[in-house]
């Protein structure tokens, strides 16, 4: 019963409230002897998540400098739990009213559950909690083979859908545009829409698509720890996420079996591999690309609410490093689990 | 690292392979003093899952009689783990060839992972494993307040979408038609399509929609044990499920925030409750209906594959008790967790 | 919150009540591809635990035949959970009275806790539950390197202390005498005392000493999963155990540091190894013999109680395979954990 | 696989190395709405553990001020994880040599396990890690009913055994003497011995006896979460602990059953309660005092080693708040678990 811990062999525990002293991440189960450089391996991912990166995002700007308290010595992990904190700054808690429940937020339900809560900026329910996840995920990446690439991008924001996507993508490719949409024309449309949202106090949701390439086959555990449900659990634990699926799941649900299943049965080298599987069969990786989509509802703080906090008209671009971080945690957990298979 | 255990305070462990001696379920953490009647409370849910219920489903027919080995005494639970088995019968294992990998199945990936596997009918990766889940879920239902109703129904099969759905539904309403689609006209269309599939060796996927009514507000835990991600984890762990979401998640991702968010902010009795939340805000129930959709790909064994096993052209109708069972497990876990909140 | 599960990477879940249909063990996390022969690897350990082995033990005799329901195929494990049951027979439940609380037993406290209980022969609290542990332990042994030997023996029963013990011992050496005391003269004294106990309705406790040889250094995890506390947890979970310690712990507590600590500090090959450590330093094995003692109170059913059940005057000899099984579970868990260190 | 987490419903995760920036404790599962005052509830227990309290203990003196980073708002818990850190000061890391393995310490075995380690002052294996435990335990105490008292005292140091102990003891009674031995005459003898040890570079172990009074019956879970094995696990996870038992376990192992078991069987109000049970029957509290002993080996750093660190000749007095903290964690976990029984 650790509602603030994610993962099994690699376990991330997060703590901190939006307007408390600090956000934190404790990572247990991290193998010893892994080289870590805070500025090279961790801070860049925090920077990618940080608000205030462009005109499109919230004006709150914390800096978000990670500080390691435990687990790394002489540039390498030592088998101890890794503890990292980020101090909270620039939190104007006087903006918040304890008796004011924002619609669509956790305000009322957390009050219902716990009776007593930190009402400042969502407290523990704030999106700021994802700072800890990004830290955890950036450590998790260090456990993946070098050839593994985890890249998320904006597939959709509101009415705009990216269609012209290259077959290969790097994080740099995606980050080249503030919308993180790799279809340049659509990216421009999104920019226009989000500027208008900001003026009108409106917001948009969207879809992040995640590609994981370079994985070996055999990752994922049977029955209740399938790769697909662990990833779904990871993504759906992010505040604004309302759905997730392998590839285009709604399309799969409409398809005719005879057309959907194009793999070849038998006993040859590729026999049994299905292109429609999006990289996961029976819950276990087949060595091909994992493709998942993550659906976000529109940001719930709109219009006159803006004065009660400083929020983005669309969190999708900033959520990409969070989705990637959660994926990295799941993958690293399974990479460790693979050592126990036989 | 218990890949075969689901849940936390209420923990279901399942065992058994499709063509082994028995399927089993062990439920730990079940409170004492709860009345259980095998024939009244457990067996009916197994019967709802059972193959051979109609012309639309597979011809394999096991009977599937649950037998309690532990945890119930004089008609009540005693705080011990509850163990239930169902013997496997009628399994024609000679149909299976160890060197034949079915496309889109777990055959190849499990081999990759474990080296040695039970190749008969999918072994542990068979849909038959859900027998254990239905047992677990039927016990979990006994921990929910009587006013809680968990009802799943066929929202879509292939090209056919149910639109005309009553506001309230019982399991009996849904089970009135073999397709478990409560829109009678669409149900008939589905029947025709599935008959044709059977003749042509084709298959269809679809969408199950799940409604949970009667829940108190305050269920769900922060951060990594939100109600929504626990349910997503539960559903995505079912073999053929490819996606899930709150209500119509893809539609939410397209919506304008100003239209999507209709809840009222402030401090009145309903302030902060959002109708668009599908019953869950900040990961915690708000006392309204939870509505989730579960997307299934088309059954992967089609055409000439039929001789390698006896399978349904569409598993959606039979999967409804499985989806309900997984939901019941999550809900019961959170109902227990609620006792620890304050 | 799985009070009936022991272990982490290798997780044993037990179920069953003394007078219910069956006792069971489910082992999750067991690697694939390990050869298992029920008659060679599992049944002998059950036989060693079985009552009715000699005049000194209870006359209840079940046979206790293990039956595998899951997880083994073609003589090898397949990565599935391993499920094994032993049917209960010969249980005269009419001997038991629901309103009769035996002194020193769980009868009253379980009633207090759960309200409703299986009062027949202790139900779940019966020593019969250790059948499941012995099954679990016998599988765990298969994960240990061949050179590892786990041998427990009777160090003390009541007033009789074995002093003349060889430096090396096998299970066969120990089992050569029904008391499992390898000091032949003391074994005979014990036999006389226990015969008299049986006549007089008296009982004795004692001390089991456990030797684990052949372990590599580096087993055990920091802080809360030290080898010594996992073993202590394992042993103290056995019903009649009242204490445990490394070597002769009470003697260590009296010793002068200058005499107790004979290891050599520095940087040579043996530097830092302490003979007084009983094989565990900082919670981690040092490659030497682990020696632990397990203290048993006298069996609590004595005198006129005998008619309320059939019990041993001393459970120490029969408890040896149980202590060994619990040790094997802890060791195998740590052998698996070792794969995750770096 | 969280080697640095202890507990189940109430889970303490600790982090930090002796000579790193800070020690930390994260407590998950702590109910909301519990009043906490850092100075009143937490800091005093840290002060009791702190070195430098008397001439008898190490001269290292950190101050050890607890700082709350998460989980407490407006003086009450909020259902979030509670995170507390204590900055490390006064750590002379230049005293330590990476290639020097102290005898009887973790130095060599941790190197063996992890390859790379923080060699300064034991790093993570240092007794300083117990700072985090004392923080965790002081929070756990807040979950216990007010009438529960957890008091540990020095029963033995080296050759000196306290015999004249009052029937009731408070923490203040025990703390009245620096040795924490409530037998005044023996306390004086101990003082003399430890002064001599300091001069001679010698050390002593001893025995802490722990009394828990005021507990309701019904605490403790069946089989693998018995109160006695959870306490044993807790105590044996402390570095210098070599054994533990209920009351005087070695004496119980020698006793005749007819004398040991003085409880009355039958169905009256006290029937089934056994005075010899030390408060725990079948793993569950019977409402009487729990009495356990915890055996400590002599401190392993003696003689010329002193220059490699500043250590106590006997850690037993300072270990009392640590033993109490571990007990509080186990008890609070079971107090929460009691809510799930029926």
pLDDT at B270: 85
- Residue-wise pLDDT for D152-182, tens only, equals 999 999 999 999 999 999 999 999 999 999 9
Region C236-262: mean pLDDT is 96
Q: Which chains share 3+ C-beta pairs under 8 angstroms with B?
A: A, C, D
pLDDT at residue B309 tops 50: no
pLDDT at D117: 86
Q: Locate A299 and state its tokens.
A: 């940001």
As a whole number of angstroms, the distance between CA A126 and CA A315 comes to: 13
D341 in contact with chain B, both atoms CB, cutoff 8 A: yes
Contact residues, D window 194-233, toward C, CB-based 8 Å cutoff: 197, 200-207, 217-226, 228-233
DSSP state, B275?
G
Mutate to test the interface with C, among D232, D234, D238, D253 (most CBs of C within 10 A): D253
D29 in contact with chain B, both atoms CB, cutoff 8 A: yes
Question: If pLDDT is split at 50, 70 and 90, which confidence band does D62 have?
Answer: low
Residue A246 to residue B242, Cβ atoms within 8 A: yes
pLDDT at A261: 87
Residue C118 to residue B22, Cβ atoms within 8 A: no
B32 in contact with chain D, both atoms CB, cutoff 8 A: yes
Residue D342 to residue C299, Cβ atoms within 8 A: no
pLDDT at residue D271 tops 70: yes
Least confident of A59-73, A246-260, A278-292, D221-235: A59-73
Residue A125 to residue B340, Cβ atoms within 8 A: no
Chain C residues lying within 8 Å of A32, measured CB to CB: 341-342
Give me the interface pTM, i.e. the ipTM: 0.95
Counting beta carbons within 10 angstroms of the beta carbon of residue A251, is it exposed (0 to 12), middle (13 to 18) or buried (19 or more)? middle
Using CB atoms, pick whichever of D5, D106, D284 lies closest to residue C106.
Answer: D284
pLDDT at residue D55 tops 80: no
Contacts 24+ apart (CB under 8 A), D37-45: D37/D75, D38/D66, D38/D68, D41/D138, D41/D139, D41/D141, D41/D142, D42/D66, D42/D84, D42/D135, D42/D138, D42/D139, D44/D138, D45/D134, D45/D135, D45/D137, D45/D138, D45/D321, D45/D324, D45/D325
D158 in contact with chain A, both atoms CB, cutoff 8 A: no
Query: What are the two backbone dihedrals, phi and then psi, of residue D300, each rounded to the nearest 5 degrees?
Result: -90, -10
For the CA atoms of B108, B110, B111, B115, the dihedral, rounded to the nearest 10 degrees, stands at: 170
pLDDT at residue D196 tops 50: yes
pLDDT at residue C298 tops 90: yes
pLDDT at residue D19 tops 90: yes
pLDDT at residue A263 tops 90: no
| Integer CA distances (angstroms), C297 to A150, C208, C233, D265, in order | 58, 11, 17, 18
pLDDT at D300: 79
> Where do we find the tokens 């066929």?
B154
D263 near D273, Cβ under 8 Å?
A: yes
Locate the chain B residue with the closest alpha carbon to A314: B257
Which range, A90-104, C175-189, D261-275, D309-323, has the best average confidence (pLDDT)? C175-189
Residue B106 to residue A284, Cβ atoms within 8 A: yes
Using CB atoms, pick whichever of A1, A9, A342 lies closest to residue C340.
Answer: A9
Residue C3 to residue B29, Cβ atoms within 8 A: yes
As a whole number of angstroms, the distance between CA D241 and CA A263 comes to: 60
Using CB atoms, pick whichever of D71, D115, D123 lies closest to residue A15.
Answer: D71
For the CA atoms of D98, D102, D104, D107, the dihedral, rounded to the nearest 10 degrees, stands at: 0
Please give the residue that has the higher pLDDT: either B80 or D93: B80
Residue C298 to residue D223, Cβ atoms within 8 A: no
pLDDT at D260: 93
Q: Please name which of B253, D221, B142, B102 lies closest in space to residue A286, comparing C-alpha atoms.
A: B102
DSSP state, D41?
I
Least confident of B208-212, B224-228, B275-279, C261-265: C261-265
Q: Locate D153 and state its tokens.
A: 């005292």
pLDDT at residue C250 tops 50: yes
C73 in contact with chain B, both atoms CB, cutoff 8 A: yes
Residue B9 to residue C15, Cβ atoms within 8 A: no
As a whole number of angstroms, the distance between CA D81 and CA D79 comes to: 7
Residue D206 to residue C284, Cβ atoms within 8 A: no
Residue C339 to residue A341, Cβ atoms within 8 A: no
Least confident of A15-24, A162-171, C57-66, C117-126: C57-66
Q: Locate B43 and state its tokens.
A: 């067996």
Q: Locate A242 and state its tokens.
A: 């309302």
The structural domains of chain A, ordered by start, are 5-340 (3.60.150.10)
Which residues of chain C form beta strands (DSSP E)? 5-6, 11-15, 22-28, 67-70, 72-73, 76-77, 82-87, 149-157, 160-161, 206-213, 241-246, 280-281, 284-285, 290-296
Question: If pLDDT is split at 50, 70 and 90, which confidence band does A280 have?
Answer: very high
**pTM exceeds 0.80 for this model:** yes
Helices (H) and strands (E) in chain A, counts: 9, 14
Average pLDDT over chain D, rounded to whole?
A: 92
B117: helix, strand or coil? coil
Cα of C208 vs its chain's centroid, Å: 9
Please give the residue that has the higher pLDDT: either B337 or C311: B337
- Residue-wise pLDDT for B157-187, tens only, equals 999 999 999 999 999 999 999 999 999 999 9
pLDDT at residue B332 tops 90: yes
Region B243-259: mean pLDDT is 96
Residue A282 to residue B106, Cβ atoms within 8 A: yes
pLDDT at residue B147 tops 70: yes
A21 in contact with chain D, both atoms CB, cutoff 8 A: yes
pLDDT at A81: 98
Using CB atoms, pick whichever of B106, B225, B266 lies closest to residue A3.
Answer: B225
Q: Please name which of B56, B44, B298 lies closest in space to residue B181, comparing C-alpha atoms.
A: B56
B337 in contact with chain A, both atoms CB, cutoff 8 A: yes
Residue D339 to residue B341, Cβ atoms within 8 A: no
Rounded to a whole number of angstroms, the distance from the CA of D32 to the nearest CA of chain B is 5
Locate the chain B residue with the closest alpha carbon to C124: B80
Question: If pLDDT is split at 50, 70 and 90, which confidence band does B33 have?
Answer: very high
Mutate to test the interface with B, among C25, C69, C91 (most CBs of B within 10 A): C69
As a whole number of angstroms, the distance between CA A17 and CA A23 comes to: 7
Using CB atoms, pick whichever of A9, A79, A222 lies closest to residue C80.
Answer: A222
Q: Which chains share 3+ C-beta pairs under 8 angstroms with C?
A: A, B, D
Cα of D38 vs its chain's centroid, Å: 20
A109 in contact with chain B, both atoms CB, cutoff 8 A: yes
C299 in contact with chain D, both atoms CB, cutoff 8 A: yes
- Residue-wise pLDDT for C57-108, tens only, equals 554 555 899 999 999 999 999 999 999 999 998 666 667 788 889 888 899 9
- Residue-wise pLDDT for A28-78, tens only, equals 999 999 999 999 999 999 999 986 555 555 545 558 999 999 999 999 999
Using CB atoms, pick whichever of B69, B73, B81 lies closest to residue C85.
Answer: B69
pLDDT at D309: 47
As a whole number of angstroms, the distance between CA C319 and CA C324 comes to: 9
pLDDT at residue A272 tops 60: yes
Rounded to a whole number of angstroms, the distance from the CA of D181 to the nearest CA of chain A is 35
Average pLDDT over chain A, rounded to whole?
A: 92
Residue D298 to residue C220, Cβ atoms within 8 A: no
Residue A69 to residue D22, Cβ atoms within 8 A: yes
Locate the chain C residue with the closest alpha carbon to D222: C3
pLDDT at residue D304 tops 60: no
Residue A70 to residue D20, Cβ atoms within 8 A: yes
Locate the chain B residue with the closest alpha carbon to D334: B340
pLDDT at B306: 43
- Residue-wise pLDDT for A141-176, tens only, equals 999 999 999 999 999 999 999 999 999 999 999 999
């Amino acid at each position: 019963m650790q509602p603030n811990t994610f993962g099994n062999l690699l376990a991330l525990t997060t703590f901190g409230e939006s307007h408390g002293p600090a956000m934190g991440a404790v990572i247990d189960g991290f193998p010893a002897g892994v080289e870590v450089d805070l500025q090279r391996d961790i801070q860049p991912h925090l920077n990618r998540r940080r608000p205030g990166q462009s005109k499109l995002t919230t004006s709150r700007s914390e800096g978000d400098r990670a500080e390691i308290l435990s687990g790394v010595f002489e540039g390498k992990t030592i088998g101890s739990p890794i503890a990292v904190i980020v101090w909270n700054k620039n939190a104007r808690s006087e903006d918040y009213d304890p008796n004011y429940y924002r619609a669509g937020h956790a305000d009322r339900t957390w009050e219902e559950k716990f009776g007593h809560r930190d009402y400042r900026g969502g407290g523990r329910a704030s999106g700021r909690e994802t700072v800890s996840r990004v830290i955890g995920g950036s450590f998790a990446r260090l456990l993946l083979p070098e050839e593994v690439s985890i890249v998320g991008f904006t597939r959709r924001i509101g009415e705009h859908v990216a269609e012209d996507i290259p077959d290969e993508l790097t994080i740099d490719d995606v980050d080249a545009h503030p919308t993180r949409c790799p279809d340049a024309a659509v990216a421009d449309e999104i920019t226009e829409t989000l500027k208008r949202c900001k003026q009108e106090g409106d917001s948009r949701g969207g879809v992040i698509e995640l590609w994981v390439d370079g994985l070996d086959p055999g990752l994922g555990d049977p029955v209740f720890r399938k790769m697909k449900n662990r990833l779904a659990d990871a993504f759906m634990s992010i505040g604004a996420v309302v759905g997730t699926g392998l590839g285009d799941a709604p399309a799969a649900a409409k398809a005719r079996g005879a057309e959907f299943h194009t793999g070849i049965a038998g006993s040859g080298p590729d026999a049994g591999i299905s292109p429609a599987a999006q990289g996961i069969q029976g819950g276990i990786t087949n060595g091909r690309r994992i493709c998942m989509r993550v659906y976000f509802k529109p940001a719930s703080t709109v219009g006159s609410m803006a004065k009660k906090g400083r929020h983005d008209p669309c969190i999708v671009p900033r959520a990409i490093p969070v989705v990637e971080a959660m994926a990295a945690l799941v993958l690293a957990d399974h990479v460790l689990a693979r050592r126990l298979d036989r």
